Amino acid sequence: MSNTKPENTRKTDYKINSIFVNRWSPRSMTGEEISDDDLMSLFEAARWSPSSFNNQPWRFIYSKRTGSEWSKFLDLLNEGNRIWAKEAGVLVVIISRKNFEYNEKPSITHQFDAGAAWKNLALEASIRGIVAHGMQ
């Protein structure tokens, strides 16, 4: 699950923190198990993301590769992604709640907010040397 950091070859036009440059989306995964500590810290990072009315509309559904539901998660992927994603330590489905919890009215930012939360997760992963690769 450890990645080779590409920072030596990536140049930015303006100076930014290296965490944004070091994060990338490799397709080469080791199949190494992810610890609960690591996994919960990824979700914790996501949880600290801001959202409209602090509604926190994101939901994460996951299976580790050792889990009983693993094959169901793999089946959600298209063939092109399944080839490399089957070597992941965990697969996570991200969904978001369309209505605000406090009044059930539609939120226009639930997808935007979920994307922001996922970015926290991906950056926390990168900081830990864990590969995170988004798929639609």
Q: Which residues bind its own copies (CB under 8 A)?
A: 12-17, 19-21, 23-25, 37, 40-41, 43-45, 48-50, 52, 108-109, 111-120, 122-124, 127, 134, 136
Which tokens is 11 given?
A: 């140049």
Distances from the Cα of 13 to the Cαs of 10, 18, 21, 24, 55, in angstroms?
10, 13, 11, 17, 35
Closer of 23 and 65 to its own copies (Cβ):
23
Shortest CB 129 distance to its own copies, Å: 13
CB of 26 to its own copies, least distance (A): 11
Position 73, amino acid: F
Residues 6+ apart with CB under 8 A from 120: 45, 46, 48, 49
CB of 52 to its own copies, least distance (A): 5
CA-to-CA distance for 36 and 112, rounded, in angstroms?
Answer: 27
Smallest distance, Å, CB 64 to its own copies?
17
User: Given the complex with its own copies, which of 50 and 71 has the nearer CB atom?
Assistant: 50
